[in-house]
């Protein structure tokens, strides 16, 4: 994949991931049943808001990296922006794993739906489905990040200069070579 295309792909994958997290937030907050309250709603709400904030920073860094790989190419700026993007993405992914998709959180959702029944059962099922819908976009974004690093690595490898020295030694020609050969010196 070309360098610019890889970075544009990354930006698009991160945007798609943001849309998935926005869907989780909408499901958590706006689809909450009118009757009753639960701390679980606040926990999911806070987690998704934090992740979306970090993801916005990752998207901004990806945008800066995309600009840096356009003409004129600034590979160092692209590398630094990609590193920021990677760091933010990993923070979002860790938060997703711990606060949304972990076994404990999914068990909490399921228990809430079973205990409260009615609208809460549908809510917990809907939240679980939208959270699980984020798995593939996370994988795609991670793959896109890897592709960008690979493209940068290849580009750096193409522009490196290799210096090699050789030792030629002495060469003899004519009569002197014949004389040395008779003496057994190659």
SS (H, E, C) 60-72: HHHHHHHHHCCCC
pLDDT at residue 84 in the model: 98
CA dist., res. 136 & res. 134, Å (int): 6
CB 76 within 8 A of CB 155: no
Q: What's the domain range around 167?
A: 3-182
The pLDDT tens digits along the chain (186 residues) read 699 999 999 999 999 999 999 999 999 999 888 777 789 999 999 999 999 999 999 999 999 999 999 999 999 999 999 999 999 999 999 999 999 999 999 999 999 989 987 889 999 999 999 999 999 999 999 999 999 999 999 888 775 555 556 666 555 555 555 665 566 666
Query: Other CB atoms closer than 10 Å to residue 73's CB: what's the count?
Result: 14
The structural domain count of the chain equals 1
């Amino acid at each position: 994949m070309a360098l610019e295309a890889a970075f544009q792909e990354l930006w698009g994958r991160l945007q798609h991931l943001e849309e998935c997290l926005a869907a989780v937030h909408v499901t958590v907050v706006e689809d909450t049943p009118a009757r009753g309250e639960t701390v679980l709603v606040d926990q999911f709400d806070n987690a998704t808001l934090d992740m979306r904030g970090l993801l916005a920073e990752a998207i901004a860094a990806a945008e800066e990296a995309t600009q840096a790989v356009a003409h004129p190419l600034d590979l160092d700026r692209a590398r630094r922006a990609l590193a920021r993007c990677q760091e933010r993405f990993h923070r979002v992914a860790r938060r997703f794993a711990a606060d949304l998709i972990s076994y404990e959180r999914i068990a909490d959702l399921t228990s809430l739906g079973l205990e409260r029944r009615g609208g809460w059962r549908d809510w917990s099922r809907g939240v679980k489905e939208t959270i699980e819908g984020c798995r593939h976009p996370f994988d795609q974004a991670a793959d896109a990040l890897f592709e960008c690093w690979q493209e940068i690595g290849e580009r750096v490898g193409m522009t490196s200069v290799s210096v090699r020295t050789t030792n030629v030694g002495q060469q003899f020609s004519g009569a002197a070579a014949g004389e040395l050969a008779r003496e057994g010196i190659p």
